[in-house]
Structure 1
């Protein structure tokens, strides 16, 4: 199961929305980090990781549109802030994992 589909991301987003749209941009997103780690392990490149979040955003907005449920601008901001933070954390973790793998491949003598 992907970290995004685990439900914790949705609960955090909903909680932030209930708090009046507090933005997670300055915080951390452990779900994003785990997603980046998982995607690196599975051989995804960083571009694919980022595109997945674009698909997620599109699916969420499609569901909102189909439901006819009104969504306020502050709620959209919360959603996009969470996605932006998850992308940043996921990319950073993917890069950390790539660097570790490269260092391990080089061996102790070449560092």
Structure 2
């Protein structure tokens, strides 16, 4: 199991990796009970042999698809989606200004 050419367990245990990822992604926008659940699910996926890249991609896709009105994850999903759009806008605006403006307005 490798991430950036390093084995995750050799760097940090799956549990620590999962909790750090969840905390870094949603911070204080999600309560501790829900964050513990998410970290536990990520840890299970890693222990079952999923690559860290796949787990992070899946977690990001799930968070991005959460309804913004969801009382547990909605605010975090909204902020996550905004960060993604802002990052894409910044990157695209350096290359293709019309496409960047279209992306950010949509």
Q: TM-score range by the shorter chain?
A: 0.3 to 0.5
TM-score by length of 1: 0.31
